[in-house]
Amino acid sequence: MPSLNASASDWLLERVREVQASPDVTAARKIAVLLAAAGYGKTHLFGRVADALGGDVLFAFVGPIFEAQLARPLQHIVWNVVEALFDAPAGGGPPWIEQLLARLCRPSFEAYFKQLPDLLRTRHQTLWQRLQTDHLAALEIIRSVAEPSAYRRLAESIARAFPGLRNEIVRALALAWSPDGADVRRWLRGDDLPEQECARLGLSQTPPEPERVIEAIATMLQRIGVPLVICCDQLEAVLKDPEVGPINLSNGLVALLHSVPNTLIVLGCLEDAWSVVIANKVHESFFDRVHKPQKLATLSAGHAVDLVRRRVMAWDGNLAKGGTWPIAVESIQAYANARPRAPRALLQECRNAIDEWLSTGKEPVTLGNTPPPPFPEVFIQHWNTELAAMQKKAKSPVDIQEAQLFQSVKYAIEIARVANHLPPGMRVIDAIDGAIKPSGNDPRPSVGVRLEAGGKTFKVIVAVTKRDAGTAFGSYMTALTDAIKPKAVVGAVVVRPYAELNVGPHTAARKTYDKAIADGKLRPFALGSERFTFDQLECLFSILTDADDGLPLGGRNLNRDDCVKLIAENGLIKGLKLLDHIFANWVELSAVQPSSDTPAIAVAVPAAPAVAGTPPAATPPPLPVAAGPARSVATVSGPPAAAAAELKPADIKPVDIASLVDQPQAWANRMLADITAKLLLYKLPVEPIRAQVGPTFARLMVRPADTTDINKVRNKATQLRVSLGLAAAPLIDFQPGFISIDIQLPRRQIVALAPLLGTRPANLVGQTAFPAGQDVAGQTHWLNLADPSSCHLLIAGTTGSGKSEFLKVMLGAMAHGMTPEQLQFILVDPKRVTFNLTGLSPYLLKPIAYDDEAVIPLLTECADEMERRYEKLASMHKSHVSELTGADSVPRIVLMFDEFADLMHDPIAKAEMEPLLKRLGAKARASGIHLVLGTQRTEASVVTPLLRSNLPGRVSLRVASEKDSMLILDAPGAAELLGKGDLLWKQGGDLLRLQSPFVSNVELEELLRVR
């Protein structure tokens, strides 16, 4: 919108043109400062400048600088500059580094063509002509080259053209379009490379100084007439350490001005934050190099109307008449005058209004007149949208800064403390940075988490590192070893991008690393193998980072503490696998924590002679076990299998397994011994711990030797099934401290619903709760629709999986715990077989619906009822229907579909239903209306991103493929389930494997009071 902040845009464009006109280092160059809150359009301003310059400007956006980076802020800046250079532009086209190299090399390619014989020149005449007018034609030439030596010769040639710059930095930049581009990118931004890679590429093992890298990039860009604009946004993060942060940053920026040509530095922050910078002892020389700050304006009524008009007309779904339709112009003007908003906040309000218009058909919508949904729903929807965006980006952990990964891990620990996402009997006392001593070149971000359990205090060190090679890894392991020596430290969790190390198995550092794992003192956590955990950490980082600058959401401006509280209260990271890794199953803690309900089981395994010179391993106490599914994870911590290492096939005594099928515990113990022996034959030694027996499967727990990789164990699942005669392939996963191997029992037990109903927890009486199933330890897990993390459910399962029976259990169990005055169902059964009741039930609000003609009016009625309830809540100053009492109380409504995919095949019906479902999913929880969507078909056309983002609760029974499992759970495993009620329930970031109860039709009708 050109009219908004036009003067600020012109001013910024003038500063960039000053750099273009005089790119050399000069004392007159100054830093530009823009004062505005989040959502006021700073990024939009930069886009205008790029358009005005025909795209010939490189913007490098630098996110907030965190505490771990305050000592070396330029390292953070160079990372973002390198990423901006190597990433593809948002508008498409090749990365800037390729454009830069193509422009630099075009004269050489032209000279090369002129030297070609006439015949060859004629053959390539078309390319020659394109090269005259389009420098990107050079990319066609370079991309056809596969020989690495050719790229290295070209890189040497380019480096000689810039004698004033550090040679190896220019060579690294010139190798960016070669097959080694990913490695030089890592080196330029400050990551370690293995010694052999550095030697092969001719690079020093110590990454280059940030100033020299930025200088080289800016100088090479100067050669082609393209200025570099470094945009440091969200300066507020620097103020977390006001004594150090502003001074270090200002000194670093002034150093860049003194040495780097062709560069404009732009700072963006809140007006209050800039006042703090001024007040905090920053050198006068810094302010001498700063332009007078430009303050961005708030939206006027005219600007607001223009912004909405442009956005609505650009919207693909607009059905309309033009202008700001379907939002009334007068309401936009009144809204902007009454409540000045950032552009982003205004557009959020408009989106809510358009959602209302789509689902109700009312026209036109009055902005600000729609009752807002309860704020937790708004925040949960924002979380789900942000998480979906992270999953779509699919970034690699390698391409995230170490300090950013560490910050997200710290956020997760803080939320775990606030929400008490901890094992029973444990609490977090504090978490203090610097648990591992830093070095000059390696900040070694780490935190010491002090825990109290059983009246005793312990410490777990949590660290993040990318060090995986050379002397840097050796130094890191020395510092880590020193950190975990004190008796109070039970161990360390080291979060890494990937499990693999680039050091030999016989190096001293690798031996130290392996021994720490074997001794149970070190637990590596590989984010690359735990994709969902990584995405959640990225989502957490994004939201809390935005909140540092003020997150406009639902008419409020949230700070970081607000977001932490909302994430904690709504359980959005409950069950995050990393938290289990940090807090669960430390051997030293198991003696003081409440023990598992299931007693330890002695496993009979053949004795083996001890390894010569090796003392006998101490037998650890039994571990409390959390049930979980099989997922893709790399290495596992745990002590070595000293005894098992010498086990031989001849030591296994023959036993008639068939004779044990009626003795499930004895059968599981025997299978544990057999699997231990089989894995040894595959050279994957493990130490058996114990076996647990549930209604469906047995969980065999083993500790790996220090050389055993879980991925290799998992790859033997099919062989184990065949060689041991199992009914299905085992599901193999790792839990903190051990590997779990789940195998189907030869005779499965039925978990009846009736006995479980008498065990309803006291806090769930009168709640929309039901027993989702029993885990392997026999513990019943209850799912409560009143919980924000499971207020609406998506349930998937193929024929024979037990999906329909699961839905019946929901109906029966909730009806058992609530009266018809408290609970009403609306049932949709396109197949006409699941909810085939023989009479009428007082729990049914409407007759059972069977097709879209009946369903769409029901959805519309539910949406209208939701709005009516919100109006009532607003008038009574309440936030949830649970707060209504007496004559004002309203029943919970559960809208349940057995096979909603059958209703989505018609495009017209889908177009009507999906906005209504989305609206209910986004807003209905606090109004006491819940969606339960069951489906056999898990195609993306049925389970659309729009639906998934508004259905936080996920349960998957057996599905047809791992692709289906990923679609429903964001994790594999559901395709390997056993059917007939064997399920995975996604609890926050973790998955819980359960056996669903069974209820007969007769029992169900009794519970529903069918007459």
Q: List the binding residues for ATP.
A: 797-804
d(CA 269, CA 241) in angstroms, rounded, equals 16
Q: How far apart are CA 661 and CA 989, in angstroms?
A: 36
Taking residue 285's Cβ as centre, other Cβ atoms within 10 Å add up to 12
Q: Three-state SS string across 649-683, please?
A: HHHCCCCCHHHHCCCHHHHHHHHHHHHHHHHHHCC
CA distances from 511 to 193, 478, 505, 678 (A): 20, 12, 7, 26
Residue 482 buriedness (CB in 10 A; 0-12 / 13-18 / 19+): exposed
Helix axes 167-174, 96-115, angle to 10 degrees: 80
The H or E element that residue 604 is part of is none
Residue with tokens 């370690």: 192
Cβ-contact 796, 935 below 8 angstroms? yes
| Helices and strands, number each (H, E), in the chain | 36, 25
If DSSP codes are grouped into helix, strand and coil, which group holds residue 62? Answer: strand
Is residue 925 within 8 Å of residue 374, measured between CB atoms? Answer: yes
| Look-up of token digits 């990584």 | 534
DSSP string, 469-512: SHHHHHHHHHHHHHHT-STTEEEEEEEES-S--SS-TTSHHHHH
Place of tokens 């273009």: 20
Distances (CA, A) of 343 to 46, 347, 369, 867: 16, 6, 19, 27
Strands 738-744 and 697-704: antiparallel
What is d(CA 491, CA 587) in angstroms, rounded to the nearest whole number? 10
Residues in the chain: 1011
Report the C-alpha gap between 597 and 318 in whole angstroms: 58
Q: Give strand ranges (E) for 421-567.
A: 426-433, 446-453, 456-464, 489-496, 522-526, 551-553, 556-558
Distance from the first to the final alpha carbon of the chain: 64
Cis geometry, peptide bond prior to residue 73 (ω within 30 degrees of 0)? no
Q: Name the DSSP class of 2.
A: T
Q: CA 581, CA 735: separation in Å to the nearest integer?
A: 8
Cβ 792 vs Cβ 950: under 8 Å: yes
Given a contact cutoff of 8 angstroms between Cβ atoms, the answer to whether 804 and 974 are in contact is no
- The closest of 924, 173, 993, 157 to 628, measured between CA atoms, is 993
> What is the rounded distance in angstroms from the CA atom of residue 772 to the CA atom of residue 768?
12
Annotated binding-site members: 797-804
CB 445 within 8 A of CB 402: yes
Q: Is the peptide bond before 326 cis (omega within 30 degrees of 0)?
A: yes
DSSP 729: P
Which uninterrupted H or E stretch holds 828?
strand 823-828
Which tokens is 527 given? 């984010």
Residue 736 is classified by DSSP as T
Gyration radius from the chain CA atoms = 31
Element (H, E) at 17: helix 6-21
Q: Which secondary-structure segment (H or E) carries 731?
A: strand 731-735
Q: Residue 319: helix, strand or coil by DSSP?
A: coil
